[in-house]
Amino acid sequence: MTTLDRDATVYVAGHRGLVGSAVWRHLEREGFTNLVGQSSHELDLRDREATFEYFAKTRPDTVILAAAKVGGIMANSTAPAEFLSDNVRIQVNALDAAHEFGVRRLLFLGSSCIYPKLAPQPIREDSLLTGPLEPTNDAYAIAKIAGVLQVQGMRRQYGVPYISAMPTNLYGPNDNFDLRTSHVLPAMIHRFHEAKVAQAESVTLWGTGTPRREFLHVDDLARACLFLLENYDDPAPINVGVGEDLPIKELAELVAEIVGYEGTLEWDTSKPDGTPRKLLDVSRLHALGWTAEIPLQQGIRETYAWFTASAM
């Protein structure tokens, strides 16, 4: 166990996003007094010179790399070149700068989409690079795999205790609710809310509703980030999830109930389902002593409350 200095400089890359903002809130609650971060408009991590200048100026002791270009099936399918190029540049620049300026601890956050489309369920960390990826987000997955391998390479070459974690599907305050680019859960919240307001008779969703997904509240992930920085030091990526999943159809019914939409649900089976199932094996994380705390129904209620108060 390595307790982080609460007065040392901690750089949260992507601190305005879903994950970064949750990490920032949690670190503040835990007594960290010198958090630093800049929005993507203030610092473009794709710009190598600007990234190195920022690290030289702030000299962070610890970095949580939560900055990324993210999106749902539609966004990934229509802009794969951008998803690969932007994310690789963000990661390479930030990781190289971390080494150059003596960052002591670093956590790289990847995604469960790095694993093969048909990996045995629940997905163990050693499933990485054992089969083909899901085609709808393979470019993003390749970028995140590159980040994992760079962390491992830096450990071997430089001896730095940098680590990587693979969260499952996330949701919560500050999520992206844009219907064109959001992930499935926030998109459902937005669509069902609009349908309720408009008193629409039905809502049509993509796919068959049969794929199974696991959902982790971002505040739980934020707790896991600090826990791992203080309790985990291994080249292998570690999964972060709840260890339970449900069919997309059941998720849609749950979201509709919480939002208060009473119309019918229809499914456009001409649209892609994505990976049939994506449940993470979280036994390694549980063995370290960490488990998720926020039940899905409670988390969706809180997220919908935030959406209606802040995002509309």
Look up tokens 């649900």; give the residue. 265
At residue 285, the 3 state secondary structure works out as: helix
Opening angle at CA 117, ends 111 and 119, nearest 5: 90
At residue 108, the 3 state secondary structure works out as: strand
φ, ψ of residue 35 to 5 degrees: the values are: -85, 140
Please say if 261 is a catalytic residue.
no
Q: Is 169 annotated as a binding residue?
A: yes
Q: Is 109 annotated as a binding residue?
A: yes
Token readout for 17 is 């996003």
Q: Is 17 annotated as a binding residue?
A: yes
Judge whether 10 and 23 are in contact, CB under 8 Å: no
Burial of residue 245 (CB within 10 Å: 0-12, 13-18, 19+) is buried
Q: Is 144 annotated as a binding residue?
A: yes
* Plot region of 277 (φ>0 → left; ψ -120 to 50 → alpha; else → beta): beta
Q: Is 111 annotated as a binding residue?
A: yes
Token readout for 251 is 């998720």
The residue annotated as part of the active site, out of 140, 162, 232, 261, is 140
Q: How far apart are CA 223 and CA 14, in angstroms?
A: 17
Q: Is 191 annotated as a binding residue?
A: yes
Q: Is 20 annotated as a binding residue?
A: yes
Q: Is 170 annotated as a binding residue?
A: yes
Q: Is 213 annotated as a binding residue?
A: yes
Q: Is 19 annotated as a binding residue?
A: yes
Instruction: Please identify every residue annotated as catalytic.
Output: 140
Q: Which residues are annotated as a binding site?
A: 14-20, 109-112, 144, 167-170, 183, 191, 206, 213, 273
Q: Which residues are annotated as a binding site for substrate?
A: 191, 206, 213, 273
Q: Which residues are annotated as a binding site for NADP(+)?
A: 14-20, 109-112, 144, 167-170, 183
